[in-house]
Amino acid sequence: YQCENQNTLLKVSTLPSLPDDKGTISLLTNHGLELETVNYSDKMHSAFIDEQEGISLERISSQPLANQVQNWHSAASNVRATPGAQNSQHKEIDASEPVFSADLQIFSPDNDGYDDVQIFKLQFPDAGYFGKIFITNDHGAIVKNLAENVLFETTSSLIWNGESENLQALPIGIYFAVLEAVHPSGKKLQKRVRFVLARL
């Protein structure tokens, strides 16, 4: 796993066994006072993950009690674990509406150092959404797949440089970024964002 900051790691001589199927972890003070306890199981992983090996369960928020099952989720598929960094499924409790937005209404991928890339921002109301993001032209034809069959992080962003699926520069015009996602609960999200690709 990639560790962003080695200084955040604590070396210990031994670690207790952590069975994959189920177990209990407690956080204690130096004096043995129990701060938090969580009873975990492999049932807490996302239903969209076929192979759980090597994928961490992550706590979504530090605010609810640790032992609330709905406050735990599989790490995002692009990281699998986040040692020394904020959890990939971290979420602030006050978020209520899903967000899918484009950073620029007009972007110009002409390599002049100004608005050369489009950034799409995502924020889901819950952890566990699985799906895809793609770009279409104004006729509805898919010109670029940005993410396919992905277990999304609760908050993330994607960058697009204006190239097609076969790495060709696309013509100027109106384009749409489309998000299609489904949650294990059955909730579905479909969002579309309009923007312009220009040469300024």
- The tokens describing 89, both together, are 């499924």
Domain boundary among 57, 74, 91: 74
Same domain, 117 and 187: yes
Same domain, 55 and 128: no
Same domain, 182 and 148: yes
Same domain, 63 and 134: no
Same domain, 122 and 191: yes
- The tokens describing 147, both together, are 């993410």
- The tokens describing 177, both together, are 């970024």
- The reported pLDDT for the residue numbered 64 is 62
Picking from 115, 71, 66, the residue whose alpha carbon sits closest to that of residue 93 is 71
- The reported pLDDT for the residue numbered 135 is 97
Which pTM does this prediction carry?
Answer: 0.61
In a domain, 34, yes or no: yes
In a domain, 22, yes or no: yes
Q: Could you tell me which residues are beta bridge partners of residue 182?
A: 130, 188
DSSP states of the chain: ---S-GGG----S------SSEEEEEEE-TT--EEEEEEEEGGGS-TT-S--TT--EEES-SSS-TT-GGGEEEPPTTTS--TTS--TT---TT--S-EEEES-SEE--SSSSSS-SEEEEEE-SSTT-EEEEEEEETTS-EEEEEEEEEE--SEEEEEE-SB-TTSPBPPSEEEEEEEEEE-TTS-EEEEEEEEEE---
- The reported pLDDT for the residue numbered 74 is 85
Beta strands in 30-154 (DSSP E): 34-41, 57-59, 72-74, 99-102, 106-107, 118-123, 130-137, 142-151
For every one of its 200 residues, what pLDDT tens digit does the chain have, with 9 covering 90 and above? Answer: 777 788 888 888 888 888 989 999 998 888 888 888 999 999 888 866 778 888 888 887 776 667 777 778 888 888 888 888 888 877 665 544 558 999 899 998 886 767 888 989 899 988 999 999 999 999 999 999 999 999 998 888 888 988 899 988 899 999 999 999 999 999 999 999 999 999 87
Same domain, 113 and 177: yes
- The reported pLDDT for the residue numbered 151 is 94
Same domain, 170 and 121: yes
- The reported pLDDT for the residue numbered 39 is 93
Same domain, 70 and 104: no
In a domain, 1, yes or no: no
Total of domains in the chain: 2
- The reported pLDDT for the residue numbered 97 is 55
In a domain, 80, yes or no: no
Domain that holds residue 43: 6-74
CATH of the domain at 125: 2.60.40.4070
- The reported pLDDT for the residue numbered 194 is 95
In a domain, 106, yes or no: yes
In a domain, 79, yes or no: no
Same domain, 180 and 103: yes
Same domain, 64 and 142: no
In a domain, 60, yes or no: yes
In a domain, 187, yes or no: yes
- The tokens describing 8, both together, are 């955040």
Same domain, 126 and 189: yes
Same domain, 57 and 23: yes
